[in-house]
Amino acid sequence: MSAETLIRVDNVGKKFCRDLKTGLWYGVRDLVSEFTGSANSGKQHLRPKEFWAVDDISFELKRGECLGLIGRNGAGKSTLLKMLNGLIKPDKGRIEMNGRIGALIELGAGFNPILTGRENIYNNGSVLGLKKKEIDGLLEEIIDFSEIGSFIDTPVQFYSSGMKVRLGFSVAVHMKPDVLILDEVLAVGDSGFKMKSFNKINEIMREAAVIFVSHSMPHIATITNQVLLMEAGKSAFQGDDVALGIDKYFSHFSGTDPKIEFNGLAQIKHFAIIPSHRYAQEKEEHPLIDYREDIEVDIHLSIDRSVADFHIKLQITDKDLKIVGIYDSFQFQEAVSNDREEHKLRITLPQSIFIDGEYAVSVFIQNRNVETKRMNILGLYRYWQKFKMRASKGLGVVPAVVYLPGTISNHSLAEISETPTKTLKTL
């Protein structure tokens, strides 16, 4: 029971047309060939202005597995899902779906806006092939989970987007699907509901095959056990090394290209991050830092004469463009006085505890206005230098920003007699 293959996708492709009018005309021609049954001859070829929105995708999914489908906007993820759900036909290849399919393709979709929440539950249920009695039995549970409460008898058109998602998700997961397709549905909904949803997905996964589309990599990392990275319709990465897939996904972004945002009063002449000793010989594009080694930064600056002194702030962002750490010299020392043509500085950030991955450092050179107590930016070099963290001891990818160091000490029995009193006091 646990190992049966529920989804089998073989070399599936789908064409789309760039031009609306041409697309409509192709639609008419497709209709004709569909009716005459002579469809196949031309289907494999692209007609003018067409492109493959999904190209040659294959995978299999068994009960108990969760596939994370990732890729940039327009990579073909939703098109693939629509084919899996039988809404549109593939232009090549073959899709086999087994069992009951629960799909949440788009926010609030599947609901008839003029029907009430309760009526929509029955509609969705009957569409999925459930008898009225079965739905009666699930109704309470669905309403409870969705936290809709007394709004269940209000037409869905008056629901907030969060309520629609909650109800849609609740219906989809309670219908006991064999295959569950979730497209970017947890983006809305408050964090409490998100948590609840993840737990529910984990619960369902034991008895179903789940396809999960999300742009939130922490979500992907938490619940999927294999990923398919799509890029312009094609599979760019596929496998059960979720961390590697996520890494590949991020490497497609050019959003972290170095950029000088402002350098009117301060210019960086030289900037380098010193790789850890252990990795010094490795030919990597970016310097490699070992977990719990110091990050050492060499920075050569020239500052405009009108500025008396300055501070340096380093802002470290991960691939999600999330700021994961900030160093600001203002916190630790007096301003560096601007007493020379070129400053040759070294900044040491001791014992970096970032998890494995690629990071970018943005450099802020600023000086503090004593009267207003505000920082004036003299120079801002965005994503100026990248570096990579790599734990030589192999901590693995964890869903965290930092990997906290710590110690365990083993108290002897004699010492324990003292500690309880301490604990009690702090309580």
Q: Is residue 369 involved in binding another protein (CB under 8 A)?
A: no
Q: Is residue 35 involved in binding another protein (CB under 8 A)?
A: yes
Q: Which residue in the set 49, 62, 89, 259 belongs to the binding site for another protein (CB under 8 A)?
A: 89
The CB-of-37 to another protein minimum distance in angstroms stands at 4
Contacts with another protein in 162-201 (CB under 8 A)? 178
Give the CB-side neighbour count of residue 112, counting CA atoms within 13 A.
11
Look at the chain and count its residues.
Answer: 427
- Please say which residue, 43 or 292, places its beta carbon nearer to another protein: 43
Q: Is residue 43 involved in binding another protein (CB under 8 A)?
A: yes
Print burial letters for 103-132: b (CB count within 10 Å at least 16), e (below 16). Answer: bbbebbebbeeeebbbbbbbbbbeebebee
- Please say which residue, 24 or 395, places its beta carbon nearer to another protein: 24
Q: Which residue in the set 127, 260, 280, 308 belongs to the binding site for another protein (CB under 8 A)?
A: 127
Q: Is residue 92 involved in binding another protein (CB under 8 A)?
A: yes
- With contact defined as beta carbons under 8 Å apart, do 125 and 133 qualify? no
Select the span of 79-87, 327-335, 336-344, 399-407 touching another protein (CB under 8 A).
79-87
Q: Is residue 90 involved in binding another protein (CB under 8 A)?
A: yes
Q: Is residue 136 involved in binding another protein (CB under 8 A)?
A: no
Angle at 366 between CA 321 and CA 302, to 5 degrees: 105
**SS3 for 420?**
helix
- With contact defined as beta carbons under 8 Å apart, do 77 and 69 qualify? yes
Q: Which residue in the set 5, 47, 51, 96 belongs to the binding site for another protein (CB under 8 A)?
A: 96
Q: Which residue in the set 123, 238, 263, 267 belongs to the binding site for another protein (CB under 8 A)?
A: 123
The CB-of-52 to another protein minimum distance in angstroms stands at 13
Q: Is residue 47 involved in binding another protein (CB under 8 A)?
A: no
Q: Which residue in the set 56, 106, 320, 358 belongs to the binding site for another protein (CB under 8 A)?
A: 106
Print burial letters for 329-340: b (CB count within 10 Å at least 16), e (below 16). Answer: bbeeeebbebee
Distances (CA, A) of 63 to 1, 99, 241, 372: 8, 11, 19, 63
DSSP string covering 253-314: --TT--EEEE-SSEEEEEEEEEPPGGGTT---SS-EEETTSPEEEEEEEEE-TT--EEEEEE
Q: Give the pair of three-digit tokens for residue 338.
A: 């601007």
Q: How many of the other CB atoms lie within 10 Å of CB of 102?
A: 24
Helix axes 191-205, 161-174, angle to 10 degrees: 20
- Please say which residue, 14 or 313, places its beta carbon nearer to another protein: 14
The CB-of-101 to another protein minimum distance in angstroms stands at 7
- Please say which residue, 97 or 229, places its beta carbon nearer to another protein: 97
Q: Which residue in the set 56, 60, 119, 358 belongs to the binding site for another protein (CB under 8 A)?
A: 119
Q: Is residue 297 involved in binding another protein (CB under 8 A)?
A: no
Give, rounded to a whole angstrom, the gap between the first and last alpha carbons of the chain. 51
Return d(Cα 338, Cα 303) in angstroms, integer: 7
* Binding-site size, another protein (CB under 8 A): 55
Q: Give the pair of three-digit tokens for residue 280.
A: 């010094």
Q: Is residue 132 involved in binding another protein (CB under 8 A)?
A: yes
The CB-of-406 to another protein minimum distance in angstroms stands at 48
Contacts with another protein in 3-32 (CB under 8 A)? 16-17, 20, 23-24, 26-28, 30-31
Q: Which residue in the set 64, 93, 218, 258 belongs to the binding site for another protein (CB under 8 A)?
A: 93
- Residues forming the site for another protein (CB under 8 A): 16-17, 20, 23-24, 26-28, 30-31, 33-40, 43, 83, 85-101, 103, 105-106, 109-112, 114-115, 119, 122-124, 126-127, 129, 132, 178
